[in-house]
Structure 1
């Protein structure tokens, strides 16, 4: 009976080796050990230079700003920057988000390594000209604060698939569009960064509406600028 047990165990180990080990080796070769869908949320890690988590790479984008200039993720290379999704005719959360972005911009106004990307989810209305007037109306300043427009399908893809921050049309809500009030924090190397919540879980994105989220952003931007 013992011999049969040993044979059974040996057979299980052999099958495990044949089926599983090659897959593990392939994942190691492809640097795919901790990848999750969309963003690398399961593979979050703390960098050596700060206690902030690295969530994953920010998606690539190429859009047009309020001065009709092409702005891409490469424009922000070497900079710490924020990404928000909004639209100029939004009657609800966008004015609050823009106001809070202005507060943050003013804090880091003298630092050329800080920027903001405010991406409109209503590009049909929010042309470069409209965005320029909007920036002037809210008193947005800073050479690295770009209000961006482009093709609607591209923008929704950046929001929903790239950042995994919901944005879409909804005729039943005020303004005809709905979106998250969250803000992405990107470091100098193009990585999405975040802190942990009170339970030790990554928050991934920051609350762009509440003072707590804005205070956290100011603290964490300072950390990343020092890296």
Structure 2
């Protein structure tokens, strides 16, 4: 009986020890600090310094609805929300654009908050088509860019930088059409700090609040 009891106690200690280790990885140290998203599984990670290897958005250069070049440099030092769409989409893209429009209203005129929507059918979505789409949805190009460009570059940044291709996670095929409902919140240093379902109105409130948290974190008014 003593041997059985000893084995039982050791087992309990191992389980508790493992649980404690797992908790250390996921427990938030500060409820007012957002996590980092560093891989395709989009698991939130909290931590500073060497505790978390922080993924960064790669350099990019596309053309927006005004025919102007838009690069990563335009977003350095800014908080921005990114997503992927196409103008001929008749389903969720309309919802995504409408919800992004709500964010635009919430931060209208704020030079430190921007939005970028990447066309996943750039061969169809010319600058002129993006301009017409932007005008129809009352998109302010000073704050929100709809971008087109080289398809391979758009698909690469969608998958490698924003982890924004739900089907590619499974298929791993480069020819897979980009599909994602996600809005990605990026901080002023180029790190992903929030992932949201862009089709849900309730998520707009979360993003709004999280943008305010990032402003506090980076001392932005």
TM-score by length of 1: 0.68
Residue in 2 that maps onto 1:45: 46
Partner of 2:159: 160
2:84 aligned partner: 85
**Is 1:188 aligned with 2:178?**
no
Within-5 A mapping of 1:83-162: 83-162=82-161
Query: Cα gap change, 1:140/1:223 in structure 2, threshold over 3 Å: closer, same or farther?
Result: same
Is the contact made by 2:182 and 2:197 (CA closer than 8 Å) also made in structure 1?
A: yes
State the alpha-carbon separation in 2 of the partners of residues 222 and 215 from structure 1: 11
CA-CA distance at 1:212 after TM superposition: 2.3
TM-score norm. by structure 2 comes to 0.70
Report how many residues are paired.
Answer: 172
Residues 224/193 of structure 1: CA separation in 2 closer, same or farther (3 Å cut): same
1:75 aligned residue: 74
How far 1:188 moved relative to its partner? Answer: 1.0
Is this contact kept in 2: 1:123–1:150, CA < 8 A? yes
Distance (whole Å) between structure 1 residues aligned to residue 148 and residue 159 of structure 2: 16
Match of 1:28 in 2: none
Aligned mates of 2:143, 2:53 — CA distance in 1 = 23
8 A contact 1:207–1:214 mirrored in 2: no
- Describe the superposition over 1:119-153 as per-residue Cα deviations: whole angstroms up to 9, x where unpaired: 00000110111101100001112512111000111
Gaps spanning 5+ residues in structure 2: where? 1-36, 169-175
Counterpart Cα distance in 2 of 1:217 and 1:141: 19
Q: Which runs of 5+ in 1 are unaligned?
A: 1-35, 170-175, 195-204
After superposition, give the CA deviation of every residue in 1:150-205 in whole Å (9 maximum; x if it has no partner).
01111111112221111789xxxxxx9551110110011111103xxxxxxxxxx1
